[in-house]
């Protein structure tokens, strides 16, 4: 068994997630998918609480899979880890011969592992190569985005994925500076963003925060993947099973909310006098709106501060 100190990560809202899954994961033959495995903190909590549970863990990050594999090794053949992006959940389950599951968990956004390892380039507070790929075996890096995208496209991703009001100013500053030399290190980008930010705006928060978020989302195509992943996960949950999602920024939460509204709302035309069975909702909300971590958890774990948790249960096929 691996030493606990090797895994300092504290999973967000773990007790609440265990409570939400309790009605559907207790007993033999139950299967849950942790679609964002990370370092395996949530998975370990679920496996400990439900001793007959089988868990399928998905992650595109090979570093995370290695750490989670060590952490979860004590659970033996109750654990199946798959190197994949979470919108490939159906294919992962098919590969394991699993047709339906009793629960799916998404803990979205960038993981503690990615933030804490400077060489990954996710954190604007540490100077590191501008990579930002969650799966370092493939795909375009943040440095390549900054080198190859024109000013209009940079402005678009900063506006859309970072909701950045100074998107145009930042895109222009980046394009002007890269003529001299390409961006390779995060500290260099942070300095250019700082220099392009009015002093009054600098007092409102770090000028790089939203740009780094936008670059990360672009590099990993996070929102388009999520738009496919939530419906795919809902389709594989059996009656009585539950979906639980933790989002950390508004763009993610809107996608999750929209997908859940679609499955928990009748599709019958407004003028139909009687709702036909085929129009009835297939899911019901378990959590009304979005829950936040309580004050004690936010104080103990600052990464819990922005979380928004949503959950739903399948009520019919």
CATH of the domain at 82: 3.40.50.150
**170 and 207 within one domain:** yes
Whether residue 115 lies inside any domain: the answer is no
232 lies in the same domain as 211? no
Query: Residue 247: what are its φ and ψ, rounded to 5°?
Result: -110, 155
pTM of the model: 0.88
3-state secondary structure of 188: helix
- Residue 248 inside a domain? The answer is yes
Last residue of a domain, one of 154, 187, 220: 220
Structure-block tokens of residue 269: 């035309």
Confidence class for position 126, pLDDT limits 50, 70, 90: confident
Tokens of 16: 């609440």
Domain with residue 214: its CATH number is 1.10.150.170
Considering the domain architecture, whether residues 61 and 205 belong to the same structural domain is answered as no
The two tokens of residue 17 are: 């997630």
pLDDT(114) > 70: no
Residue 246 shares a structural domain with residue 204: no
285 inside domain: yes
Measured distance CA(212)–CA(220) in Å, rounded: 12
Looking at the structure, tell me whether residues 103 and 229 fall in a common domain.
Answer: yes
pLDDT per residue over 248-306, tens digit each? 999 999 999 999 999 999 766 666 666 667 668 999 999 999 999 999 999 999 889 99
Residue 202 and residue 292 in one domain: no
Residue 138: pLDDT over 90: no
pLDDT at 223 over 90: yes
Domain holding 172, by residue range, is 121-220
Neighbours of 15 (CB within 10 A): 12
Please tell me which residue, 137 or 248, carries the higher pLDDT value: 248
Residue 116 domain flag: no
Segment 74-98 shows an average pLDDT of 97
Together in a domain, 18 and 97: yes
- Does a structural domain hold residue 243? yes
Nearest to 56 by CA among 13, 111, 108, 97: 97
Both 211 and 226 in one domain: the answer is no
| pLDDT number for residue 2 | 37
Residues 175 and 245 in one domain: no
The dihedral through the CA atoms of 275, 277, 278, 284 has a sign that is: positive
pLDDT at 3: 37
CA 115, 228, 214, 40: dihedral to nearest 10 degrees? 0
Longest pairwise C-alpha distance within the chain: 68
- When the pLDDT of each residue in the chain is averaged and rounded to a whole number, the result is 91
Quickly list DSSP for 132-182: --SSTTSS--HHHHHHHS-HHHHHHHHHHHH--TTHHHHHHHHHHHHTTS-
Overall residue count recorded for the chain in this entry? 317
Q: Are residues 145 and 178 in the same domain?
A: yes
81's enclosing H/E stretch is strand 79-83
Domain count, the chain: 2
- Final residue of a domain: which of 202, 220, 238? 220
8 Å CB contact between 40 and 68: yes
Determine contact, residues 56/34, Cβ cutoff 8 Å: yes
- Let me know if residue 178 belongs to a domain: yes
Report how far residue 12's alpha carbon sits from residue 170's, in angstroms, rounded to the nearest whole number: 33
Residue listed under structure tokens 């047709």? 99
Say if 161 falls within a structural domain.
yes
Domain boundary among 178, 198, 220: 220
Model confidence at 111, pLDDT cuts 50, 70, 90, reads low
Q: State the burial class of residue 53 (Cβ atoms within 10 Å of its Cβ: 0-12, 13-18, 19+).
A: buried
Q: Is the same domain home to 26 and 100?
A: yes
Could you tell me if 236 and 259 lie in one domain?
A: yes
Do the Cβ atoms of 101 and 31 come closer than 8 Å? yes
Element spanning 57, H or E:
strand 54-59
Region at 292 (left for phi over 0; alpha for psi -120 to 50; beta for the rest):
beta
Is the pLDDT at 10 greater than 50, yes or no?
A: yes
Task: Say if 114 falls within a structural domain.
Answer: no
């Amino acid at each position: 068994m691996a030493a606990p100190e090797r895994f300092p990560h504290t999973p967000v809202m773990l007790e609440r997630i265990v409570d939400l899954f309790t009605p559907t994961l207790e007993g033999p033959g139950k299967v849950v998918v942790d679609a964002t495995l990370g370092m395996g903190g949530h998975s370990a909590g679920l496996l400990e609480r439900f001793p007959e549970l089988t868990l399928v863990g998905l992650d595109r990050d090979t570093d995370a899979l290695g750490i989670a594999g060590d952490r979860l090794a004590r659970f033996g053949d109750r654990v199946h880890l798959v190197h994949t992006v979470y919108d490939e959940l159906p294919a992962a389950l098919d590969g394991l011969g699993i047709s339906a599951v009793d629960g799916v968990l998404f803990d979205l956004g960038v993981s503690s592992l990615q933030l804490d390892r400077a060489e990954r380039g996710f954190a604007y507070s540490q100077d590191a190569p501008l990579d930002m790929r969650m799966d370092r075996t493939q795909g375009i890096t943040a440095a390549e985005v900054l080198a190859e995208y024109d000013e209009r496209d940079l402005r678009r991703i900063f506006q859309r994925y970072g909701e950045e009001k100074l998107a145009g100013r930042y895109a222009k500053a980046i394009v002007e500076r890269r003529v001299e030399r390409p961006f390779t290190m995060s500290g260099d980008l942070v300095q250019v963003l700082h220099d392009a930010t009015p002093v009054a705006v600098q007092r409102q928060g770090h000028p790089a925060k939203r740009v780094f978020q936008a670059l990360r989302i672009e590099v990993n195509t996070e929102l388009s993947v999520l738009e496919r992943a939530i419906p795919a996960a809902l389709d594989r949950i059996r009656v009585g099973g539950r979906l639980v999602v933790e989002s950390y920024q508004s763009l993610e939460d809107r996608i999750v909310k929209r997908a859940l509204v679609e499955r928990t709302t009748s599709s019958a035309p407004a003028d139909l006098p009687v709702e036909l069975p085929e129009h009835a909702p297939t899911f019901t909300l378990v959590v009304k709106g979005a829950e936040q971590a309580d004050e004690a958890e936010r104080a103990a774990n600052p990464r819990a501060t922005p979380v928004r948790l949503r959950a739903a249960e399948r009520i019919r096929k």
